[in-house]
Amino acid sequence: MKQGKQLRELAALTEVIFSAQSAKMQKLMAQQGSLKAKYAELCAQEEKVQAQFSQDPGLRMARTDVLWRVWLGRQKAAVNAELALLAVEKERTLEELRVAFGRRDVAAALARQDLFSRRPGVPSL
């Protein structure tokens, strides 16, 4: 009976670990979605502001367009850098999630096997 209890506790523990890893992955995916939306917003602003610069020669003469393009380039680069770091973290988390899934699956199978083998009238394996 002690082994059966330990196997059920192990199965519960591995389920908690898997759930935590899954939640971490969901959080990273949400962050990625947010960063992609930010990048898309910058691209939309770029199109809008380009139209303004083409219509107002005063902005071009004041070199405002150049300053804005530099700012925009830096913003896009920063978002891309964050996306790259996030991709690395997602890959690491995905590997941890795979391991947690495997452990959860094995622990659950062992607990089921132990439960099944302890039923009265069922021969032990």
Long-range contacts formed by 1-4: CB under 8 A, 24+ apart: 1/118, 3/114, 4/111, 4/114, 4/115, 4/118
Q: What span, in angstroms and rounded, lies between the C-alpha atoms of 121 and 101?
A: 33
The pLDDT assigned to 60 comes to 74
Residue by residue, pLDDT tens for the chain (125 residues) are 588 889 999 999 999 999 999 999 999 999 999 999 999 999 999 988 888 888 888 877 788 888 889 999 999 999 999 999 999 999 999 999 999 999 999 999 998 888 777 666 555 54
The distance from CA 85 to its chain's CA centroid, rounded to whole angstroms, is 11
Quick one: which of 96, 19, 36 has its CA closest to 11? 19
